[in-house]
Amino acid sequence: MKLYNFFRSGTSHRLRIALNLKGLTTEYVAVDLRTEAHLKAEFKAINPQGLVPALALDDGRMLIQSPAIIEWLEERHPSPALLPADPEDRARVRALAAIVGCDIHPINNRRILETLRKQFGADETTVNAWCAAWIGDGFDAIEALLAADAKRGAFCFGDAPTLADVYLVPQVESARRFKVDLTRWPLIAAVDAACGQLEAFRRAAPAAQPDA
Amino acid sequence: MKLYNFFRSGTSHRLRIALNLKGLTTEYVAVDLRTEAHLKAEFKAINPQGLVPALALDDGRMLIQSPAIIEWLEERHPSPALLPADPEDRARVRALAAIVGCDIHPINNRRILETLRKQFGADETTVNAWCAAWIGDGFDAIEALLAADAKRGAFCFGDAPTLADVYLVPQVESARRFKVDLTRWPLIAAVDAACGQLEAFRRAAPAAQPDA
């Protein structure tokens, strides 16, 4: 498989973690968002949406959108499982992931921040405050949900990494980049630290990628 | 089951469609976003994220985040299926849904538009242009993906509604509200019209809700 991605993209980062947890290797194809390689015709032929990541299967089919690709991974490569067995537990894990995947990450995306800079004249302080606000709202919700889960171990759900951790860790990384003070969310910080002990997470980190 | 929702919320709308397609009935609990009922302590005790929709199960458990709730519906109430059987086809349908669920809807959310108005002084023309830009980007991608699918029938995938239609129709409704000209996307408009023939979609429409 060929993984079209960018070292610093949060959606690429989460997919790299999921691939590593599943023990799968891919050919790394860097798409440089800084030079807008993702908006060129060559990449749009791969993904008409012009976003990373995209995963080219060996039969030539192309998968796009990290939430769809990660669910596909879970279906085609079920072990180790990134979702629990019980449907209501699965809904809980998917909800934690969706708070990041729908309500934090897309709003702090490169294209949104570029629009704030170019059309609304936002400076870096304003951009960081924008990101911090949405990260804060989402992390407050996640922290409350983690605190309410009496059966929880070192990770977002139970004693092993799930989809929720796969989504959370890149968002914590991004929060650090936007200079967000993480001390407000001790449970999230502890989950991030637990994940940081695992090789699958360490190898997926932006700084560990060839295009970093 | 009790459905906490708001007639005009796109995420509530998509969940209502999915519930109707599955033939499930719920008790409708309106949460009025206009008076910020979703931000009050009473609703935050139901959903710490302070967003609709939320689905209270009969055993008292609470499900939040429409993508998680809809996947749960598919697992607990598999018939009629909203996802095809083949994993790569499922990935395609989920990707179409995620373009709306991650990259269009959350960016045009009420809380984002309120921030643009209050912190960036955006007027209604600017707000509509903001929404139109992200809807346009996403719809361009969806239109290209629909055009590339030679096996497609009247819906986003195949001959029956799937998750992709469940997400797309509320986004088309929202595009109309933001005065976006839909003639640029004839395939999307045709899918919307096909869905509009179905009772499950008609009964889920914002205008058909008790709080409208």
> Could you give all domains of chain A from N- to C-terminal order, each with its CATH number?
2-79 (3.40.30.10), 87-202 (1.20.1050.10)
> What is the per-residue pLDDT across A122-141, written as a single tens digit (0 to 9) for each?
999 999 999 999 999 999 99
> What is the per-residue pLDDT across A9-68, written as a single tens digit (0 to 9) for each?
999 999 999 999 999 999 999 999 999 999 999 999 999 999 999 999 999 999 999 999
- Is ipTM strictly over 0.95? yes
Q: Which of B48, B65, B95 sits opposite A144 (nearest CB)?
A: B48
Mean pLDDT, chain A, integer: 97
Task: Kindly give, in sequence order, each residue whose CB lies less than 8 Å from that of residue A134, ignoring residues fewer than 6 positions away.
Answer: A103, A104, A107, A108
Tokens of A143: 């922290």
Interface with chain A: mutation pick from B58, B66, B88, highest number of A CBs within 10 Å? B88
* Share above pLDDT 90 across residues of chain B, in percent, rounded to a whole number: 98
Compute the distance between CA of residue B26 and CA of residue B56 in angstroms, rounded to an integer.
Answer: 9
> What is the per-residue pLDDT across A81-112, written as a single tens digit (0 to 9) for each?
999 999 999 999 999 999 999 999 999 999 99
Band (A148; pLDDT cuts 50, 70, 90): very high
pLDDT at position A91 is 98
Compute the distance between CA of residue B129 and CA of residue B134 in angstroms, rounded to an integer.
Answer: 9
A144, B95: Cβ pair inside 8 Å? no
pLDDT at position A184 is 97
Tokens of B19: 């519930």
Chain A positions touching B140 (Cβ under 8 A) are: 48
Cα A157 off chain centre by: 17
**DSSP states of B98-155:** HHHHHHTGGGGSHHHHHHHHHHH---HHHHHHHHHHHHHHHHHHHHHHHHT-TT--SS
Beta pairing class for B27-30 and B62-64: unpaired
Neighbours of A45 (CB within 10 A): 9
Chain A interface includes B94 (CB < 8 A) = yes
Chain B interface includes A133 (CB < 8 A) = yes
Residue pair A120/B90 in contact (Cβ under 8 Å)? The answer is no
> What is the per-residue pLDDT across B40-60, written as a single tens digit (0 to 9) for each?
999 999 999 999 999 999 999
> What is the per-residue pLDDT across B74-132, written as a single tens digit (0 to 9) for each?
999 999 999 999 999 999 999 999 999 999 999 999 999 999 999 999 999 999 999 99
Please report, to the nearest 10 degrees, the dihedral formed by the alpha carbons of residues A142, A147, A148, A154 taken in order. Answer: 90
* Share above pLDDT 90 across residues of chain A, in percent, rounded to a whole number: 98
- Please give the order of strands across the beta sheet that includes A54-56: A27-30, A2-5, A54-56, A62-64
Residue pair A188/A32 in contact (Cβ under 8 Å)? The answer is no
Chain B interface includes A91 (CB < 8 A) = yes
> What is the per-residue pLDDT across B165-201, written as a single tens digit (0 to 9) for each?
999 999 999 999 999 999 999 999 999 999 999 999 9
A94, B101: Cβ pair inside 8 Å? no
Tokens of B71: 């996947």
Residue pair A169/A175 in contact (Cβ under 8 Å)? The answer is no
Residue pair B206/B7 in contact (Cβ under 8 Å)? The answer is yes
pLDDT at position B165 is 98
**Mean pLDDT for the stretch of residues B4-15:** 97
Chain B positions touching A107 (Cβ under 8 A) are: 106-107, 112
Band (B63; pLDDT cuts 50, 70, 90): very high
